[in-house]
Structure formats: C-alpha cells, structure tokens
Chains A and B, each alone.
Chain A
C-alpha cells in the first residue's frame, strides 16, 4: 500500500496516514513473536545452517498495548482480517477477550467498542479505495492445516457468505461514487509456507528402513531405503496414522527438529495442524474459485479496477525474471516472499503494487507511473 501511495504522490499530492510501527521495533505477530530474520540455526543434530530465526526472544508487545488513533488512518489493512470481520463492530475491542478481537485493529480503530473497519473507512468519505479480501480467510484456514473453522462460504448473505459481505463492503465505500481497485485471490497453497517441505521428505538409510519395517509392516505400512512419504496423524485410520500421498502438503510450521531427531513423521505421525490433506486442499481450491467469481462480479458491478494477483502468484510459482533478477515462490531464495513464507516481501509487494497501478491506469485512463521493483528490498542475508 505504501508503494502505491508513493507512486500516486508522483502525480498528485496525497495525504495518507498509516499506523506505522517504528522500524527499530522487532515487531509482533498474533502469537506475540518477533519478526523473522535470516540467521544461523543449529539443529538437533548439531548442524548449523542458514535459516529464518526470530529476531528477539519475544515480540514487541508494546506495539499492541495502546490505541494510537488521532485523526484516522487511511491504510486500514488489518492483518488476518477476514471478509466477515470488516463490518464487525467491536472488532478491535479488547474487552471481547483474547481471540475474539483483533489487537492490530484495537491499536488503530477510532473507537474500540463501537468502530468497525468499514465504519472507519466510510467515515473518511473515500474517493478511492483498494480492497484485497478473501486471501486472509483462506490463509487462516490453510495455515492451521485445515483445523480452524472453515472459511466463509462463497455465496451467502452479508455476514455469512463471501459474495454478500463483499458487495456490502464495496457498496458502502462506493456510496459517493468513489473509484477503487480490487484484487482477486491467488492460490495461497503455492506460497513457500506450503511448498518448501516435500511430502516424501523422509529419507531413510538401510538400518532405519529396516527398523521401521519391523515395527510397521504388520500394521500395513512399508518403508524403502531413500525417500519415503512422511507418516501423519489421521484419526480416520484404524492405527491413527498413515503415509502421506503425493499432492498433500507439509506446512512450514512442522517442527523439523522433531522430524530429524525424534521420530516425528516416521515412528509417530506429524500432527494434523501441520498437514493439508487432499480433501482440505480441494476445499481451499473450491473456496478460491468461488471467491474469485464473487470478486469479479462485484468488480464489474461497481466498475472497479481488477488486479490479477492470482496470475502474479502463478507466474512466480514457475519463476519470473525482472530486470535481471530471478524471482519465484521458492522459500528464501525466491526473493519475493518474506521469511514467514506466507506474505510477499517488499520486492514482491512492489510487483503487486505495479499490478494495481496497471489495472488502475487501464480502468480509469490514468497515467500513474509504476514502481521500480529493484528499489524494494528482498531477503537480508547475514
């Protein structure tokens, strides 16, 4: 968003307030952890390698301690906000209890108990808005390994379905004829968070394969020397575990030390929350299709610029070259994603910002210059 604003300001004066966090802060996520940096990590086998590590022991919880609202923020992008959260009054109200409010919105809302994100947006009488909804809904479900509540259904009235809620939001923003741009939902499962650990990453030597075969053959599980699918928890199985099948995904949240040294994924299964099964993947994909159809309908009804983030991510998943730089969805080295594997880093954000600008230029006959992507940093190496 800040990249967009910077480009907008090249052609006209833009006042745009953002609830920034000091660059010196180590940041904080919803689990009170600090941001990730690339550093050296020693695993359970004593091997040290380059790996994302937390910058500090704990996150900077002081960020979320108080409300910093003064005259209103133009950037109302709230981490993890789903489509049903946008028009939810009290979405930033701590007295709802942990888990029932969003602490990032609590920090920036005009009134913790009576404001919603949408109300805070509409109260500014917007003339231009951008919307990127749906991805967070799918991501919340996907990053839980399919263990969280299902995302909102694609079709349903406001407060229940994605399309009804989106229409309500856009109608409210559009009430004075504001122009806007909206992004579709990419295939979040092609993000590094889901593609880095292979389903068949269980490497066995002769001894280990023999040991596992001794234990499991009678239960119907067989292991070979070399690459094997991981063993995962599956309560539908008689023995509560099974081997993964091709197409299933291991999440970056899987505890790799447990896998390497303590038999997770072989002697006992990787817990469900670190795995997306074929069925869960299929659920996410069908939601994505439904959401995108709704987004396209709403965009056309309100003459919004349509931003094809889905296509950007598809291109990145096979790799692109930009000004001599190779970029892809590969974890760390792909250069487009942050170290959590779930969000675009500044370089990737710049690619996306340019898509917004191109869509806005095409739809509204504008001439906003695009950003030079190489001016935005990627991963920092020690």
Chain B
C-alpha cells in the first residue's frame, strides 16, 4: 500500500553539458566551445590539463564565475498544460592558484577549487510531474591540489588529487492528499564526499602544434547519513518514518584527446574530444534506515551509456589588449530512450559560445564568455510513465579576473 518509489536521480545534467563535465571551469575555454586541453593559457589548466601547466611561466591567481540561467518547460503528451521551472540562477565558480619556485622552473604547483555541479532545478507548483520531482539542488565543490612537470620543452605531465565535498537536496510530492488539499511531501537531504584524480599529458612537438591526453577519474559521491523527511497526513505517519538514508552517485571518468594548432601569433584553433564514462550510472539506489510497507529501499534503473563530446574553438588576437573567441560543441546524451527524467531533461545538444579577453596591464587579465544551448526531447519514462516533451534553454555569461605575478 502507498507504495512510494523514489524515482530520482541527482545528476544535474541541466547546467550546460553532460553530467559533471559541465565545462564551465575557465573563461578562455568557455569562449572556445569548452575546448582547451591542448591550449593551456592560464591557471585553469589545473582543471583542463595539469600536464600543460608546466609550460606557463608565471605565478597566477584567478577567480571566475558563470551565472547560469536555465529554463525548462514540460508539455505532458496529449495535454495543453505547459509546466515551467522556477530555478534560481546557478553560480558555478572557479578559483585557481599556480606557483613556481623560481622563474622558468620546470615544476609548477597549483590548487584549483571549482564547482562542476551546483545547479538547482525547481518545477513550478502543481506541475504534472510533481510525484517524480519538485526540486533538486546539488552542490559540489572540488578541491584539486596539483603538480605539473615539464620533462622536456616538448613534454609536460601533471597530476591532481581531487577531493569533493557536496550536498544534495531532493524533493517531490507523494500522492497522498491531506484535509487541506495539500499533497504529502518528501525531502531527502544529505552531504557527501568523494575522491579522485586528474592527470594530463601535454605534448608540444612544434611551435604550431600541441596535443593533449587527459584522464579525470570517476568520483563516487557517497551520501552515508542523509536525512529523509516526510510530511504526510497524520494517519499515515507511521508508514513514512522520517529518518536516515544512504545513497551513492558515480561522477564518471572522462578521457580527453585534444589538439591545438597555432599557425601564427594571432590565430589559434583548439579541438577536444571527450569520452565520458556515463555507463557507470546504471542504477540509482536509496537505502532507508527504517523500511515500512510503504517505504521500501529502491533501485531504479538508469542505464546511462558512455558518450562522446566534441568541442571546437577558435581564438583571434585583435591586438595586444583584445582577444576574441568563438566555439561550438556537440555532446551526445547519455540518457537513452525511456529514461528521461525531470531532473535531467537531457538530449544530444549543440553548445554555441563566444568569448572575449582584455589585458588590463601586465598583471591583470579579464576574460568573459557566453554560452547558449537548447534542447527539445520527447520521451516516456519507463518507471514513472511521465510522458511528454521537455524543452530546455541555457544562457550562461561568465567572467574571470586573473592576476599574474
């Protein structure tokens, strides 16, 4: 009775691209379609390619932010009632620091703090999928101390240790009406942490060509002692005991092969190809400390597939002070037919980006970028049978300031 399925995932694919590979970790790269593992220009290489850091020759500190405006709509099949999200603006940020012990040292040390998660998706009150999801907030901060070494003038390697701390808050309605006409509600909140690494190889065989291979490991985010809170009519409170739960979420591995061509001092082209190991996400399980006939542990099939993303960017130096950038990305969705959910209205997508750089003086740089993407996908979820068409639009302007010393 009152069988309650927590049919949820908490991967916010929503932000700008597939999964935790949100790729809003550097304004230069963002301006260039998020390509740049072989085009390391600043300390954001800590994220994009630790092996390329060793080819930079300065100490640097930078901070950046990319306010992300994402709106989704859902039209249930057959009906004429359009549901909208009322999500707050996402604020993924970056902070990088890079140091060398002496000028032109072969060894660089760095620390990156970045938020490859950080989106909130919230659907308007009373929407058709409220028993699947009403709100999902996920925050994750990655801390990555990094070391990079230039073996020769043509080969650099780097490695970073990743510590991740984050929180999740997931809410949905339960189809039990109380006397006031309100539906019961479930809120799952928890903190989790995980570990991983980020390694990169950077090759520069000629002045005009760079090649990169990087590997970001899978990070398993474990929520061990989350809090499940059920607001239900008093007559069924015993069936929905609030208490603790545990769950785990794989943040997939990413392999990147990249190339950058710089035919002259003004012009650069960067191309990245990512393989993202989303196939790790085959099941989402919730284990409740206390089970009842209405509140059983759940295992929901996700059956994601490993995917490929291609990213192409160009940069043109207008003058010593001004730089213009543009890029395009194409990412295949890991969500197969029958598994689309309101927290991950995802599809194969094209990202369009523009970027702009300004050198204030020899110490300070400003970089800005703009990303736009949209999707439209119709699906019937096999578990909830929520059937309809999702449309998503994302608009993400960002800027960063860096200080070289």
The answer on A and B forming one complex is: yes
A residues whose Cβ falls under 8 Å from a Cβ of B: 10, 38, 40, 50, 320-326, 330, 333, 335, 354, 357-358, 369-372, 374-375, 377-382
Known: A354-B78, A358-B78. 12 other contacts (CB 8 A): A323-B76, A324-B385, A324-B386, A326-B5, A357-B78, A371-B79, A372-B81, A372-B128, A374-B128, A374-B175, A379-B177, A381-B232
Known: A333-B1, A378-B175. Is A324-B132 also a contact (CB below 8 A)? Answer: yes
Bound Cα distance A381, B232 (Å): 9
In the complex, B384 has a CB within 8 A of chain A: yes
In the complex, B176 has a CB within 8 A of chain A: yes
Bound Cα distance A15, B143 (Å): 64
Residue of A nearest to B128 (CB): A372
Contacts of A375 in B (CB 8 A): 81, 126, 128
Stretch at the interface among B208-216, B221-229, B233-241: B233-241
Ordered by A's residue number, 6 sampled pairs between the chains whose C-beta atoms are within 8 Å are A323-B132, A323-B385, A326-B3, A357-B78, A378-B177, A382-B178
Contact (Cβ within 8 A) A38 B7: no
Contact (Cβ within 8 A) B175 A325: yes
How many whole Å from A177's CB to the nearest CB in chain B? 28
How many whole Å from A379's CB to the nearest CB in chain B? 7
Contact (Cβ within 8 A) B175 A372: no
In the complex, B302 has a CB within 8 A of chain A: no
Bound Cα distance A326, B1 (Å): 10
Q: Which 3 residue pairs of A and B lie closest in terms of their CB atoms, listed nearest first?
A: A381-B233, A370-B78, A324-B384
Contact (Cβ within 8 A) B233 A382: yes
Cβ < 8 Å to A, chain B residues 350-405:
383-386
Contact (Cβ within 8 A) B177 A380: yes
Determine which of B1, B76, B80, B175 lies in contact with A10 in the assembled complex, contact meaning CB atoms within 8 Å: B80
Contacts of A335 in B (CB 8 A): 175
Residue of A nearest to B130 (CB): A374
In the complex, B179 has a CB within 8 A of chain A: yes
Bound Cα distance A323, B234 (Å): 25
Contacts of A322 in B (CB 8 A): 385
Cβ < 8 Å to A, chain B residues 1-27:
1-3, 5, 7
Residue of A nearest to B77 (CB): A370
How many whole Å from B41's CB to the nearest CB in chain A? 47
How many whole Å from A71's CB to the nearest CB in chain B? 30
Contact (Cβ within 8 A) A50 B131: no
In the complex, B145 has a CB within 8 A of chain A: no
Residue of B nearest to A11 (CB): B80
Residue of B nearest to A38 (CB): B235
Contact (Cβ within 8 A) B1 A377: no
Contacts of A320 in B (CB 8 A): 385
Contact (Cβ within 8 A) B80 A323: no
Known: A323-B385, A324-B132, A371-B79. Is A377-B177 also a contact (CB below 8 A)? Answer: yes
How many whole Å from B130's CB to the nearest CB in chain A? 7
Q: Mark B117-157, 1 if CB is under 8 A from A, else 0.
A: 00000000010111110000000000000000000000000
